[in-house]
Structure 1
Amino acid sequence: MRKKERYEKILAWFRENRPIAETELHYSNPFELLIAVILSAQCTDKRVNLITPPLFRDFPTPEALAATTPEVVFDYIRSVSYPNNKAKHLVGMAQMLVKDFNSQVPDTLDELIKLPGVGRKTANVIQSVVFNKAAMAVDTHVFRVSHRLGLVPDRCTTPFSVEKELTQNIPAEDIPIAHHWLILHGRYICQARTPRCEECGLQLLCKYYCSKYKVSKESENRDK
């Protein structure tokens, strides 16, 4: 199957079967989402959602968060991964928002990655979710699922190379939701250690499944 056809078929399946796909992080404004995404690095969304309500309540604005200390923030986020570093990042991020961005979350990659705790992946999440830009954040789920489905070649060994391949082949208007399609599929179906292939509607479009279960090209083509 040619690359263009594979993308078209897989995206069509997601459009039909996952018409609604969005972040599972809880937030009510761009500032809260930025905090949540920073906290979610190497941590589950479920855990982040448990600890953010009191944090959002007590530090509702960049000014409030900028005026506190990492030691105070640590007590709110102690149950997430790397709480010491994240506490420092959150306070530093808020201080920079106040000082350099008029307390507004910026909407460009170059500006976002200046903020403490914000790398390319986090910046792309903000661009995509908040500003509906054609930015593809590549986390472990997106990386794994895009390889298994055959959307990206084996030579794409870094998140950035996967991001480039996906953004070049997914229509710009679909990239924001495609980011969530891939994440949610990886989180609940195409899991790392025990993928639930028997529940997946993409079996015969999936290179991993066809290789693992020795599905012949003839059978693959017959069932498309």
Structure 2
Amino acid sequence: MVENLVKKMNVVLIGLVLATLLRVIIFYTIKHNGFKITTDVISYFIGLTNTIFVIIVLFWASFFLAYLTADWIAVGYIPVLMYVLNWTYYTFSERLRILSNSYDLYMGELSQMWLNYFNYNATNWPTLEKTLQCCGLEGPRSYMSYLQEVPKHCYNPELITLGCSHLVQNIFYPMQQIGLLMFRLTLCLELIILYIYAFKVGLTFGLDRKAST
């Protein structure tokens, strides 16, 4: 039953890898390449998908080693699984922290760009709005506090109601949640593989001892 569960989880993770490749890595590379945070998002998901492939290989290798190798090799594989579990946890916990910090930093940069537009006549804000098809920091009302009107570039041809900070939040914040979910699924799968392998090795040793006596 547990083995079937792990196999199903493998299928789910392979599906997640394909979905991540198509919907995140390729999509963000093409459509959102202008964002500084895009590099961190892509790097995180590439690393996570590579780790998932390694875990799938470890899973099938554990079945092979549990039945077809010498005892010392079978037992020696357990620390390998434990090391991979430990490495996955610490590596991707740190990468999630970097991704979260990158998101917060970019949101802060957006706010600073907005202030610079009014305080120092910086021209990069209108360019950003035209590129992203957004208006104001939090929508057209953001302009009312400064200009008492909405600039013409906020019409395309109708008024764009989505603020740039909300647009960035809609694009990148869900990626943190998806990344966290995949991270937890990966750890869960590694724990199950370790449990199954240790159980199989212990069961095999027990049967061998009974046979020898």
Q: TM-score range by the shorter chain?
A: under 0.3
Higher relative contact order, chain-length normalized (CA < 8 Å, sep 6+): 2
Report the TM-score, using the length of structure 2 for normalisation: 0.24
Q: Which structure has the larger Rg over C-alpha atoms?
A: 2
More helix by share: 2
